[in-house]
Structure 1
Amino acid sequence: MTGSVEGGRSGVDPPASGRSLYFTGPRTVRIEREAISGPDPDEVLVETRVSAVSSGTELLIYRGEMPRDLPADGSIDALTGDLSYPLKYGYATVGDVVATGSAVDDGWRGRTVFAFNPHESHFTATPDDLVPVPEGLSPSTAALLPTAETATTLVMDGRPRVGERVVVFGAGMVGLVTTSVLAEFPLERLTVVEPVAHRREMAASLGADETLTPDRAARVGERGDPAGADLVYELSGQPTTLDDAIDAVGYDGRIVVGSWYGRKRAETDLGGFFHRNRIDVSSSQVSTLAPDLRGRWTKERRLDTAWERLDDVAADRLVTHRVPFEDAAEAYRLLDEGPENALQVLLTYE
């Protein structure tokens, strides 16, 4: 953080130091003290209240399974450099503006805002990099905005049609919120495939017509006339699930891959019905909009849509653990030990 305390305006002086989380090696995180400087004239200083841990991307980084020479995220200013250790990471932070630079409107002071920012107790940003949290929405729910935005993107890229049979593999946070959005469409059937029982139960409560364990997923490809699913989402994070997705989808069906596998290899069987069935496999990633949508859609419009979807999900039900920031290492260990242990973990700052 740059600038000086004298450069900002605030009712109280900022603290002398804050805390930041660093991934320092495989399965190792550390909380470090860092000096806090006031905002530059065009910036504000934000004091964090809560940040959400991504059990997909962040677990890859925690486990050392990410491609380390890949840029952290070219679309997010707060994520600089590449994915090599040590690094700050995270992109779901909610806090309050506690100081404003001399060139920033005083109306920003005191606002609760969302930021695509790593896990840390204080940070500076320009107002353009912040998203005001809608009135009445809790900070815990607002921290799930990236999940809702990803789910919105997945549905936009999959283009579900009236009467289609749709399957979602994986009922983690992204899979569950995607299920919630898909449940609003007039589909013939919405199926969720997930090994963890309580996640299947959550999927059913969010609108899935049926939930299956992976060993029963093959039946999806045998049902219907014509047989198989029309649209399949692979959101499990496991490359082997791509084979299950190919088995589930029917002739001329579509598979949307929303998982990021990092350095895990996908040894997919393309020698069976894949070629003859004209199956379309595409990737979906929230950093960009699909080219054919850019004429009428902007990231701002998509973000507004994501807020609406988030309000419909009753997202607080998805938060299973709130962990003090100082105990972040325990939060990552909990997620690393298995998907049955936690769904959404929030780090809290006091």
Structure 2
Amino acid sequence: MTGQALYFTGDESVAVREQPISDPGPGQVRVRTERSGISPGTELLVYRGDVSSELPTDETIDALEGTFSYPLQYGYAAVGRVTDVGAGVDDAWLDRRVFAFNPHESHFLADPETLVPTTLPPEQAVFIPNAEAAANFVMDGRPRFGARVAVFGQGPVGLLTTALLAEFPLSCLVAVDPCGTRRDLSRSLGADRALAPDDLDEVDEVDMAVELSGNPTALDDAIDVTGYAGQVLVGSWYGTKDVSLGLGDAYHRSHIRIRSSQVSRIDPDHADRWDKDRRLDAVRAWLAETDLSALHTHTFDVSRATEAYRLLDERPDDAVQVTLTYD
């Protein structure tokens, strides 16, 4: 028996390769993937070669080993069912739907402790990692009652962050994105206003800006719209892109706080009451109650993965959440 696995093989190049389907060893289960989600932020950096080849892929995820040197498997949003269990694993795992932080491949082996059992449908469960990232941004940002907030970038993570922030008693929530379709989605998820970057002169000073576009120039814009002693939360990963900021007199006197936020670890400020399991439980509960179907714009069989990445790379305005399926 053979399965399919997606590899990043070079700049702007992916390949789907056949590989043996292995039996689970002791303490392992085998999962058959139903659907996996493509991250248009991180994965496009890998696809374009905008990540240092010496950087470890993710030291907090067991399924992601090695560095970002080609060829490599990457991805972290797989949903499937357990089809076999190894010695020492409870048969109750059989046929259970699970989420895994795992690369794009039709079958994989895993330690049950790394899997997230879920009753969510696959098209909803693929949002787990991006919704967890959005939750992390909101937790780190700590928006106050009546705050004015702007979210730069309305890809999947930005839209989910907008949706979460819309549940807070803010005085104004502004979404910023060059794509009209994404701005429409922002409004449907609760943004009070949705603007193109060229229209930022219409925005009053905000208390907090969240930069999630992956575009280095947006960070400068986020700083510009943030008021005195406000906060700029940077969730974007720019990879090897140069970031140039205008930190002149206005910034020097602004007392603006610029801080990073990333989902792999819980900020120590929250460690007294939160851990990753509690955050993940909260995210799954929110996803069970939130309709995100409008964010799914394209689905490709994994054999057409090249088309999927070309779409995201060459026509980003046409796509939001792209997923791969496995026959």
Name the structure 1 match of 2:25: 40
Name the structure 1 match of 2:98: 113
Matched, 1:347 2:321: no
Write out aligned runs for 1:158-197 (5 A). 158-197=141-180
Name the structure 2 match of 1:144: 127
Separation (CA, whole Å) in 2 of partners of 1:312 and 1:153: 19
Determine if contact 1:181/1:309 at 8 Å carries over to the other structure. Answer: no
Matched, 1:51 2:1: no
Equivalent in 195, 201, 217 of residue 212 of structure 1:
195
Name the structure 1 match of 2:210: 233
Determine if contact 1:218/1:244 at 8 Å carries over to the other structure. Answer: no
Structure ID, larger Rg: 1
Name the structure 2 match of 1:11: none
Name the structure 2 match of 1:77: 62
Separation (CA, whole Å) in 2 of partners of 1:162 and 1:171: 23
Structure 1 segments of 4+ aligned residues over 4 angstroms from their partners: none
Separation (CA, whole Å) in 1 of partners of 2:136 and 2:127: 15
Matched, 1:291 2:268: yes
Separation (CA, whole Å) in 1 of partners of 2:167 and 2:133: 16
Separation (CA, whole Å) in 1 of partners of 2:134 and 2:201: 25
Q: What's the secondary structure of 1:76's corresponding residue?
A: coil
Separation (CA, whole Å) in 2 of partners of 1:277 and 1:63: 36
Once the two structures are superposed, what CA deviation does each residue of 1:264-310 show, in whole Å capped at 9, x if it has no partner? 01111111311201000000100000011111101000001111222
Moved more, 103-112 or 333-342: 333-342
Once the two structures are superposed, what CA deviation does each residue of 1:71-127 show, in whole Å capped at 9, x if it has no partner? 000000000000010000000000010000110001000100000000000000011
Once the two structures are superposed, what CA deviation does each residue of 1:201-260 show, in whole Å capped at 9, x if it has no partner? 00000000011111111332xx3xxxx100000011100111101110000000000100
Separation (CA, whole Å) in 1 of partners of 2:45 and 2:249: 31
Determine if contact 1:23/1:62 at 8 Å carries over to the other structure. Answer: yes
Moved more, 306-315 or 293-302: 306-315
Aligned CA-pair RMSD: 0.8
Separation (CA, whole Å) in 2 of partners of 1:335 and 1:253: 33
Matched, 1:309 2:286: yes
Name the structure 1 match of 2:232: 255
Q: What's the secondary structure of 1:259's corresponding residue?
A: coil
Moved more, 296-305 or 313-322: 313-322
Separation (CA, whole Å) in 2 of partners of 1:242 and 1:273: 15
Counterpart amino acid of residue 2 in structure 2: S
Q: What's the secondary structure of 2:22's corresponding residue?
A: coil
Separation (CA, whole Å) in 2 of partners of 1:86 and 1:319: 28
Q: What's the secondary structure of 1:65's corresponding residue?
A: coil
Separation (CA, whole Å) in 1 of partners of 2:22 and 2:263: 32
Identity, % of aligned pairs?
A: 53
Q: What's the secondary structure of 1:147's corresponding residue?
A: helix
Counterpart amino acid of residue 290 in structure 1: D
Separation (CA, whole Å) in 2 of partners of 1:133 and 1:316: 18
Aligned length: 327
State the 1:341 CA deviation: 1.7
Q: What's the secondary structure of 1:177's corresponding residue?
A: helix
Determine if contact 1:72/1:83 at 8 Å carries over to the other structure. Answer: yes
Separation (CA, whole Å) in 2 of partners of 1:272 and 1:236: 26
Separation (CA, whole Å) in 1 of partners of 2:291 and 2:146: 26
State the 1:17 CA deviation: 1.4
Separation (CA, whole Å) in 2 of partners of 1:144 and 1:316: 11
Separation (CA, whole Å) in 1 of partners of 2:168 and 2:123: 27
TM-score, reference length from structure 2: 0.99
Once the two structures are superposed, what CA deviation does each residue of 1:188-210 show, in whole Å capped at 9, x if it has no partner? 00011111101000000000001
Equivalent in 130, 136, 143 of residue 153 of structure 1:
136
Once the two structures are superposed, what CA deviation does each residue of 1:37-90 show, in whole Å capped at 9, x if it has no partner? 100110000000000000000000001111111100000000000001000000
Counterpart amino acid of residue 63 in structure 2: A
Write out aligned runs for 1:5-16 (5 A). 16=1
Q: What's the secondary structure of 1:340's corresponding residue?
A: helix
Separation (CA, whole Å) in 2 of partners of 1:198 and 1:25: 31
Counterpart amino acid of residue 298 in structure 1: D
Once the two structures are superposed, what CA deviation does each residue of 1:143-186 show, in whole Å capped at 9, x if it has no partner? 11001000000000000010000001111111100000000000
Name the structure 2 match of 1:131: 116
Once the two structures are superposed, what CA deviation does each residue of 1:316-339 show, in whole Å capped at 9, x if it has no partner? 221100100100010000000132
Matched, 1:68 2:68: no
Name the structure 1 match of 2:3: 18
* Unmatched 5+ stretches in structure 2: none
Counterpart amino acid of residue 101 in structure 2: F
Separation (CA, whole Å) in 2 of partners of 1:326 and 1:102: 33
Separation (CA, whole Å) in 2 of partners of 1:47 and 1:234: 36
